[in-house]
Chains A and B, each alone.
Chain A
Amino acid sequence: MSGAWRIRIFFLAAAGFACLYFLAVRNLPPWGHYRGPYGDVMATSSVFQRHTTDVVNAIDYDYRGFDTLGEEFILFTSVLGVMLLLRDPEKNKGISRTGNMGQATRFGAAGSYAALLVFGLYMTTHGQLTPGGGFQGGVILATASMLIYIAEDFRVFKRITSHPIVEALDALGAAGYAAIGLSAFLFSAPFLTNWMPLGKTGDVFSSGTIAAISACVGLEVTAAFLMLGYTYLEEIVSETGEGG
């Protein structure tokens, strides 16, 4: 099929979609006039039911926890797929240290790394109180580690991130989520029931399983993004043949 015909067919389909889409959204509640009721029910009840001040995380890790478990495993298998496709143990064996950053860069990177590490841990552990949680904290923790690559070189980054422990942590995070869900069976409760003590609203150790699941997700996301970063850096390094 030639390019011109492909574009003609696309515009035909796009016009059809545009008409149907317009008809579909025409009678939605006007923008800015959300009518609920589910969001309102969640917003008013989760503080009292789950002792969580961040409703979004209460939904993610508790009310809708089963769904998030599924998303969690999409993340897990995607990273697994990347590793299967790209990882090659023979690659980059002979890379020697080439680049050497100046003292100022290394000093700055070390300082930022410490600050970002604390920030990432704060985000992961305070998800039940303020915006944050495992997904966001995990991404911060993992990308902060890229500073190691900037300050040192690929070999040091590889030594830290291609460690079997990182892979084990990834699996542990995913399994931990499922295990917390299964642990409710011990009390003859349904899967993912929030059985842990709920604590005092506004405390770091509150909200029961929400905080625990958030920590598991944080662990998994951190490990997953570290492995992704390592695998892709390895691709780039092996292409350009430089070590740092």
Chain B
Amino acid sequence: MSQIAHIFPFLVAGWVFLCGLYGIATSRHLVHTVISLAVVQTSTYVLLLNIGFRTGGAAPVFADISPGITTVDPIVQALMLTDVVVEATVMALLLAMVVKAYEKAGTLSPDDLRLMRG
């Protein structure tokens, strides 16, 4: 049981991932699909930050602590930092596509989108 407690935060990341995926699979509205994708992406933040976490570790900023003090992993934090902003713009691009899809098809339901003809 204690083993589960040790990996519980990682399981939370998997749970968030599946929640977002469920949202995408059952989506009836394109904006809902885009937000579900954001949830999926958030699960990677949860996973990576949990991997770099260290009990009692300080923030990796040495402005007021001396170098050598044990900190959490700064590398995963750096990965998150750039991605948060980039994700926001990618969401904006997806939502712009949603706007255009609505203008062309007149619907926001993925099931009713019949723009492609084979």
A interface residues, Cβ below 8 angstroms from B: 3, 6-7, 10, 14, 17-18, 21-22, 25-26, 28, 30-34, 36, 38-40, 42-44, 47-48, 53-57, 59-60, 64, 67-68, 71-72, 74-75, 78-79, 81-82, 85-86, 129-131, 133, 135-136, 138-139, 202, 221, 224-225, 228, 231-232, 235
Q: Which 7 A-B pairs have the closest CB atoms?
A: A39-B73, A30-B6, A32-B55, A59-B78, A78-B89, A25-B10, A55-B60
Given contacts A60-B78, A130-B63, 6 further A-B contacts (CB under 8 A): A34-B53, A43-B60, A47-B67, A64-B75, A82-B92, A225-B88
In the bound complex, what is the Cα–Cα distance between A224 and B99 (angstroms)?
19
Q: How far is the CA of A137 from the CA of B109 in the complex (A)?
A: 37
Q: CA separation between A207 and B14, bound complex, in Å? A: 38
With A25-B14, A39-B73, A42-B75 as contacts: A135 and B25 at CB distance below 8 Å:
no
Tell whether, in the assembled complex, residue A33 and residue B96 are in contact, meaning their CB atoms are under 8 Å apart: no
The CA-CA distance from A17 to B99 in the complex, in Å, is: 33
- Min CB distance B59 to A, Å, is 8
Residue of B nearest to A76 (CB): B89
Query: What residue of chain A has the Cβ atom nearest to residue B98's Cβ?
Result: A85
**Interface assignment of B106: CB less than 8 Å from any CB of chain A:** no
Question: B7, A25: Cβ atoms under 8 Å?
Answer: yes
Contacts of B75 in A (CB 8 A): 38-39, 42, 59, 64
Distance from B53 Cβ to chain A, minimum over Cβ atoms (Å): 6
List, in ascending order, chain A residues with CB within 8 A of B78's CB.
56-57, 59-60, 64
- Complex: A18 Cα to B43 Cα, angstroms: 14
| Complex Cα–Cα for A64 and B76 (A) | 11
Residue of A nearest to B58 (CB): A43
B77 nearest CB neighbor, chain A only: A56
**Chain B proximity of A4: nearest CB distance (Å):** 11
Which of A3, A34, A54, A135 lies at the interface centre, i.e. has the most chain B CB atoms within 10 A of its CB?
Answer: A34
Residues in B with CB closer than 8 Å to A224 are: 89
Assembly CA distance A174 to B7 (angstroms): 40
Q: Inside 8 A of A202's CB, which chain B residues have their CB?
A: 63
Interface CB pairs A-B, < 8 A, 29? A7-B25, A7-B26, A10-B21, A10-B22, A21-B11, A25-B11, A26-B3, A26-B7, A28-B7, A31-B7, A31-B8, A32-B53, A32-B55, A39-B74, A40-B71, A42-B60, A54-B62, A54-B63, A56-B60, A56-B78, A56-B81, A59-B74, A71-B83, A74-B90, A78-B86, A79-B89, A79-B92, A85-B99, A86-B99
